[in-house]
Structure 1
Amino acid sequence: MSRKRPGGGLSTPQQVAKFLGVSVLSGAVLAGLALPAVGAFGLAARGTMEGFDEIPAMMERPPLTQMTTILDADGNRIADVYSRNRTVVPLDEMSEHLRQAIVAIEDARFYEHGAVDLQGILRALTTNAQSGSVEQGASTLTQQYVKNVFVEAAGDDPEAVAEATIQSGAAGLGRKIREMKYAIQLEEELTKDQILENYLNITYFGQQAYGAEAASQRYFSKPASELALHEAALLAGLVQSPSQYDPVQYEETALQRRNTVLASMVDNGAITEAEADEAMALDLGLNVSQPRQGCVTATNDAGFFCDYVKWEFLANPVFGETREEREALWALGGLTIRTTLDPQAQEAAAQAAKDGAFAEDSVSATVVGVQPGTGHILSMAQSRPYGFDLEQHQTTINLNVSSEMGGSAYGFQPGSTFKPITAAAALEEGISPALEYTTDNEIAVPKSDFRDCEGRPLTDESEPNYELGNERDDMEGTWDMTDALADSVNTYFVELEREVGLCETMQMADELGVERGDNEPLAAVPSLTLGSETVAPLQIANAYATFAARGMHCAPVSITAVTDAEGEELPVPEPSCERVMAEDNADTVNAMLLNVVEEGTGSSVALPGRQSAGKTGTTNDRRDVWFAGYTPDLATAVHVGNENQNEAMVGITIAGQYHAQAGGASVAGPIWRQAMNGALEGVAPSTFPEVDVPRGEGDDDEEEDDRPGGNRPGRDGDEDRDNRGRPGRDRD
């Protein structure tokens, strides 16, 4: 609809075009819409010269983009995401005042004329001719709706939007004629109320609000059904120029426009003078709600989980055969997505992450929890907030997940949290946990003793041996598998890896869902068992969840139900679970990791009143520290480190506490304990199956508890070392 312009002359080509355009259309209508070629402009339909009858008879009406709502497992709102903030509602869920106001100000004879209002065109012609400028337009509500359909179909394409809204010249006239023809078609297909409903759901009201419902929520924080007269008049006045009459920015201009609408409603017989006077005496009555768009506004610090939901949706073929189809469905919106997020577990994880590392610290903490037996992601949090403001230490990189799901480029070295995977591979190969190795504190193992999955021995002429050491200088002696896990003995696990096979270890990791953080396969290197390959925390949490589920591996999942805008249920991913370990072998791993928490390096973070199993992890130079642990109900992995892996956590302050050397038990462990305690509060303690784990004989001349490398509670004995006994990153 044309806006009033100051001044009395036709001073620009655009004004001339608009004036002549209205004149031509009037003549066309008077001629019965038989439009061969009219005036100097001719007829430009779709930007070309073609006849009215050549315009396609049917107008495509794409579904309206709407807001998608993401819910947690209890049905609480996590976030609203949208390309356009819109919620489609039926006409009977819009205030009658709003319906009357829109008709009165935009098309007073809407219920009396057809698709094209000849009387309105003649009135516009007369008014514009008398003023010498374009004072009035002649588009009906039906024509305006058609234009909005063109704009909606254009999406975010600037050229398409410009074509859909062009006002001047032959192209502008062609657009008007297309609108007229499609308006005629619509008036044959739909009732007036249906057209009005469509119009009120599609039109833009400013402030990122599309449609009456979103506008009512934006300006008045209430549904459109509850709009009072003065509120409805304000919204109706916005559609002509949402920016010019923006009540948030221009209160006085908006007030004048609202009162103009009220006066039009009196003229149209919708309300009385007294009702209008009463409404005009009121102020705007705004109760503005800020748009809660996207994962930045997620509740319960669940921004990273919200982000993961989108990545999972776009990656899973169940939501569309191609990536393009899935992206189109996501952009269309109108979905309600029920997720796996447990609000209690998420609150505990988020608080633990923030307490364990401050947002402004040089390192960050991540926490992710998985439900054993389902793969449901119950929590996902980071110490740095989700967002785009770098000055506030925000980030949108989800450090809990792999790169293809929005994570860091490579992931993080897991250190000794990988050792249980080697133990699992050994048990599956029939190796007894009683197997003992007697080693020095530092050893050298020929690389040719290891073979990749093609059966080829590893060779390196420049460095034929893999040289490594234990955490402490006194860690030499005899260990079985239980003791080696409890005290995190590097030399034992490299010997075990050589025994079970490097390929078998890699295959076990793959079956547990562990790959590199860049989603490439793990490399065949002897240091694999010591956690030299970079992985994502979610992968470690899910691998440990498999142990807790007695060998049943379930792929991680965040989406459990999806309904579309019509309330129809859409297909969702089926649970993807398979047995990857024998129950008794998984039970044995659980018993050995239970021992780690009760008597080994993880004893300082044991959960009071309930059984828990887990493993510390500290990488070379202490660039990454971990604690991954679980009960039968929940597996959680915690990582603390620098996102770029370029800072050794030595002589460092984290969360206000100084650490001479950061460790898995001292830094990551307390975060894990806080997250687990909070998540499981009110959950009855459960226990692991009792297992009689075979044990080795130990050194002949010493009691078991006094053996070098035996069970010594409360230490971080899990750092990989090079052949010089100093921290150093494995480069194999």
Structure 2
Amino acid sequence: MAPTRPPRPDSSETPRLRADRGSAALRHTRHGATFLTVSVLSGVLLAGMALPAVGALGLTAKNTADSFDSIPDEFKTPALSQATQIFDAKGGLIAKVYERDRTVLTAEQMAPIMRQAQVDIEDARFYEHGAVDLKGVLRAASKNAESGSTVQGASTLTQQYVKNVNVEKAGDDVAAVREAQRKTLGRKIQELKYAIKLEEDLTKDQILTNYLNITYYGNGAYGVEAASQRYFGKSNKDLTVPEAATLAGLVQNPSQYDPKLHPQAAQKRRDVVIDKLQENKHITADQAKEAKAAPLGLAFHPPRNGCITAKAGMGFFCDYVRHVVKQDPAFGKSAAERKKFWDQGGLNIYTTLDPDKQAAAQDAVSGNVRVTDPVSAAATMIEPGTGKILAMAQTRPYGLDPGKNETVVNYNVDAAMGGGNGFQPGSTFKPVVAAAALEAGLPATQSYPAPNRIDYPTMKTCDGTWKNLATGKERSVPNESAKEFGPYQLKEAMALSVNTYFVQMEQEIGLCPVKQMANKLGIGAKASGKPLEEVPAMALGVEEVSPLTMANVYATFAARGVYCTPLSINKITRVDGRDVPVPPASCNQVISQLTADTLTTVLNGVTEKGTGADLGLRDRRQIAGKTGTSDQKKAAWFDGYTPQLATAVWLGGPAGGVEMRNITINGDYIPEVFGATGPGPIWRDAMNQALRGTPKEPLNMIYIPDPPPRTDPKSTTGPAASPGATDATPSPGASQRRPRGTGKPTEQP
């Protein structure tokens, strides 16, 4: 098939590539020895041209042939690394991440003028020779001999492609990249043999397409599509003649001809390419004149890579998704395999993040706490019954500049997922104790003396022994107010957050059921990764956790006892449309519906008549939740939910070391921060905005009778259960226990 004719001077026909056709040299490769001899000799010439000292080494054609034959015939081309795009649940782009910014195109997606310009400047006889251009070798050797140095090379485009493949295989291994680029005789011989193999297996058009996808064009752009977007802000298919010539000219030396840093050099190089196009009759003289008269027309788009480029507030969720991919065995059996999967990219990751709810959470934390405040706030939203993470926000922006109060530590998650060591949840942990007690058979009307202050009693641990693990200042526990003394039942004790009540409840059921319940609800360890400790103060929330963990605990209550592992990814597809298997959330009934509905009823009481009574939503829908404040006011929480949405909000010092007394937050002086006054309003603002326009679904609640009126409060300040209690020792309220699983939920599944 003959090359296509150049367009007439008055024609608007788009320049086209010469048709792919086999060359005499290529045909000879299939006959073996004849071409092999020529190839080896050509390789020696080519190597001698690049390495003048080769002759002095005494290397003969036989030596070279032996080396040639020893090279394995198999040449594997790697899947090219590409950019990955991360999307929210509505299809909006969150961020573009990549190790190498590249979008692989088919031949049909590439501008014909781009393909022709690259051929004309790099290897004008590409469609006429085989793996080695003998005429080019002789011409280059002659030029080099005349000058006494290496001034001209003769590597074919196919050989250049082989070298680029070796560089791609080296990845981010600097030493391996350097080795792939070394100009040695062995390297040249290897490239030659693999080039011969490629020209046997692929058509010329396929080789050119691969070359244009793998080649580096400078400024972090790999392949013609990334280069088109980087320098001109447009797709490769829309390139003009001068724009295509500019890109084609970059390949020889992307730094020297960088159009942003060296525009004059870039334009001069561009014009050389245009001259080549005219010389080879792929554009007319008039077209060349017009193209050379055009300005560079640079519309440079700086590389924007990674979660730091995410939409406002979404960088931390983007980073969380990265950790999920790199740690979930579904994406590779080993850490190295998962890293390769992420680094290679070419993925479209569709996440669970709801942009509207993300905006609600971000507006709430940013509207109540300033970036410059000594404390920060974080909020996570989860959909009950699915585990889907709908929002993840915090006041400190995602970034590396501490002068701007930026951080890459995600306060919403555990350390292993890009977070810190977590924060003490305070009284928001008390529902976990209540869940363990209800599952153990205690009734919703369970009563304890709950005096104003008690010493921590002896408690049973998971190893079956009874221990008093409290020491020093932590030997006793007071209630928040001097007016708080029992007896109390569960609903009232939760509403008022009575410390001594939950310590007595913990003492009755033992530390082990509390720890086991925490595990069931997703608190398998501290946020730092260290195991939970069996200590009496566990009931009061002294073991550091993350907002994501607590949001999912409360989502389990909202889902009537169904716990789902947190889910951040809905779907992953490759750029070619193939699906990547994504594990769904694992959902299991971890507590009975009765227990969950009882807790919802109790937690609704917190927001109706308890510490969270001022946090009602604008549309007056039913809510359930719990306030929490850690020891020394270093962390404050409000965790709550409706049937559709569970949200946990934390407020405190980023490193957990700020005592929130006599503090100014968002311009307001606050004598003392509590869960209801610090994170509570953030939660209310976030939920008001997130639930706007959604149906008002009622909570799943049961009837719990109110306790009898008190007659003599002073007589209820008796001692706590005896430290020497055993399994056989009656505990306060023991006669009121109900067998586990009795009772009937108000709504059947």
The RMSD of aligned alpha carbons is 2.4
Alignment partners' CA distance in 2, 1:591 and 1:497:
20
| 1:301 match: secondary structure | coil
Amino acid corresponding to residue 271 of structure 2 in structure 1 = N
In the superposition, relative to structure 1, how do residues 663 and 41 fare at CA in structure 2: closer, same or farther (>3 Å)? farther
The residue that corresponds to 1:580 in the other structure is 590
**Paired residues for 1:360-439 under 5 Å:** 360-408=372-420, 410-439=421-450
Which of 467, 488, 494 aligns to 1:485? It is 494
Alignment partners' CA distance in 2, 1:301 and 1:626:
20
Alignment partners' CA distance in 2, 1:398 and 1:333:
23
Farther-moved stretch of structure 1 (383-392 vs 190-199): 383-392
Alignment partners' CA distance in 1, 2:480 and 2:468:
27
The residue that corresponds to 2:109 in the other structure is 93
* Cα deviation, residue 29, structure 1: 4.4
The residue that corresponds to 1:496 in the other structure is 505
Alignment partners' CA distance in 1, 2:122 and 2:160:
9
Alignment partners' CA distance in 1, 2:617 and 2:302:
42
The residue that corresponds to 2:662 in the other structure is 651
* Cα deviation, residue 40, structure 1: 2.4
The residue that corresponds to 1:724 in the other structure is none
In the superposition, relative to structure 1, how do residues 458 and 49 fare at CA in structure 2: closer, same or farther (>3 Å)? farther
- 1:505-527 deviations in Å (ceiling 9; x for gaps): 11111100013112233211111
The residue that corresponds to 1:442 in the other structure is 453
- 1:346-376 deviations in Å (ceiling 9; x for gaps): 1111222222222222211111111100111
Alignment partners' CA distance in 2, 1:690 and 1:498:
27
Alignment partners' CA distance in 2, 1:604 and 1:198:
64
- 1:1-20 deviations in Å (ceiling 9; x for gaps): xxxxxxxxxxxxxxxxxxxx
The residue that corresponds to 2:356 in the other structure is 344
The residue that corresponds to 1:563 in the other structure is 573
* Residue 39 (str. 1) matches residue 49 (str. 2): no
In the superposition, relative to structure 1, how do residues 671 and 48 fare at CA in structure 2: closer, same or farther (>3 Å)? farther
Which of 48, 53, 58 aligns to 2:69? It is 53
- 1:74-114 deviations in Å (ceiling 9; x for gaps): 12111111111111011111111101110111111111111
Contact residue 78 and residue 300 of structure 1 kept, 8 A: no
| 2:248 match: secondary structure | helix
The residue that corresponds to 2:676 in the other structure is 665
* Cα deviation, residue 639, structure 1: 0.6
Alignment partners' CA distance in 2, 1:218 and 1:461:
63
* Cα deviation, residue 186, structure 1: 0.5
* Cα deviation, residue 638, structure 1: 0.6
* Cα deviation, residue 696, structure 1: 2.2
The residue that corresponds to 2:98 in the other structure is 82
Amino acid corresponding to residue 369 of structure 2 in structure 1 = A
* Cα deviation, residue 197, structure 1: 0.2
* Cα deviation, residue 586, structure 1: 0.7
* Cα deviation, residue 594, structure 1: 1.1
Which of 533, 536, 547 aligns to 2:543? It is 533
Alignment partners' CA distance in 2, 1:570 and 1:58:
28
In the superposition, relative to structure 1, how do residues 603 and 460 fare at CA in structure 2: closer, same or farther (>3 Å)? closer
The residue that corresponds to 1:224 in the other structure is 236
* Residue 620 (str. 1) matches residue 636 (str. 2): no
* Cα deviation, residue 49, structure 1: 11
Contact residue 469 and residue 536 of structure 2 kept, 8 A: no
Alignment partners' CA distance in 1, 2:643 and 2:354:
16
Which of 129, 132, 138 aligns to 2:145? It is 129
| 2:455 match: secondary structure | strand
The residue that corresponds to 2:703 in the other structure is 692
- 1:172-221 deviations in Å (ceiling 9; x for gaps): 12211211111111011101110000000000000100001111111111
Alignment partners' CA distance in 1, 2:573 and 2:341:
12
| 1:299 match: secondary structure | coil
* Residue 277 (str. 1) matches residue 286 (str. 2): no
- 1:32-74 deviations in Å (ceiling 9; x for gaps): 76999972246699x9996211111122211111111111111
Alignment partners' CA distance in 2, 1:418 and 1:95:
61
* Cα deviation, residue 461, structure 1: 9.2
The residue that corresponds to 1:636 in the other structure is 647
The residue that corresponds to 1:554 in the other structure is 564
* Cα deviation, residue 265, structure 1: 0.6
Contact residue 311 and residue 406 of structure 1 kept, 8 A: yes
Q: What is the number of residues matched between the two proteins?
A: 672
Contact residue 491 and residue 605 of structure 2 kept, 8 A: yes
The residue that corresponds to 2:743 in the other structure is none
* Cα deviation, residue 615, structure 1: 0.7
Gaps of 5+ in 2: 1-34, 49-53, 718-749
* Residue 118 (str. 1) matches residue 149 (str. 2): no
| 1:477 match: secondary structure | coil
| 1:260 match: secondary structure | helix
Contact residue 367 and residue 636 of structure 1 kept, 8 A: yes
| 1:121 match: secondary structure | helix
Gaps of 5+ in 1: 1-24, 709-732
- 1:237-270 deviations in Å (ceiling 9; x for gaps): 1111111111111111111111111111101111
The residue that corresponds to 1:308 in the other structure is 320
- 1:391-435 deviations in Å (ceiling 9; x for gaps): 111111111111111111x21100000011111111112211212
- 1:672-709 deviations in Å (ceiling 9; x for gaps): 1121122222212211124211332241368xxxx99x
* Cα deviation, residue 126, structure 1: 2.0
In the superposition, relative to structure 1, how do residues 90 and 311 fare at CA in structure 2: closer, same or farther (>3 Å)? same
Amino acid corresponding to residue 149 of structure 2 in structure 1 = S
Alignment partners' CA distance in 2, 1:186 and 1:41:
30
| 2:460 match: secondary structure | coil
Amino acid corresponding to residue 480 of structure 1 in structure 2 = Q
* Cα deviation, residue 318, structure 1: 1.1
| 1:605 match: secondary structure | coil
Contact residue 513 and residue 539 of structure 1 kept, 8 A: yes
Which of 242, 253, 274 aligns to 1:241? It is 253
Farther-moved stretch of structure 1 (203-212 vs 584-593): 584-593
The residue that corresponds to 2:599 in the other structure is 589
In the superposition, relative to structure 1, how do residues 471 and 455 fare at CA in structure 2: closer, same or farther (>3 Å)? same
| 2:197 match: secondary structure | helix
The residue that corresponds to 2:747 in the other structure is none
Alignment partners' CA distance in 1, 2:117 and 2:556:
61
Contact residue 521 and residue 556 of structure 2 kept, 8 A: yes
* Cα deviation, residue 332, structure 1: 1.1
Farther-moved stretch of structure 1 (90-99 vs 692-701): 692-701
Which of 444, 455, 464 aligns to 1:455? It is 464
- 1:461-519 deviations in Å (ceiling 9; x for gaps): 96699411011222223321111111111111111111232211111111000131122
Identical amino acids, percent of aligned pairs: 50
* Cα deviation, residue 558, structure 1: 0.7
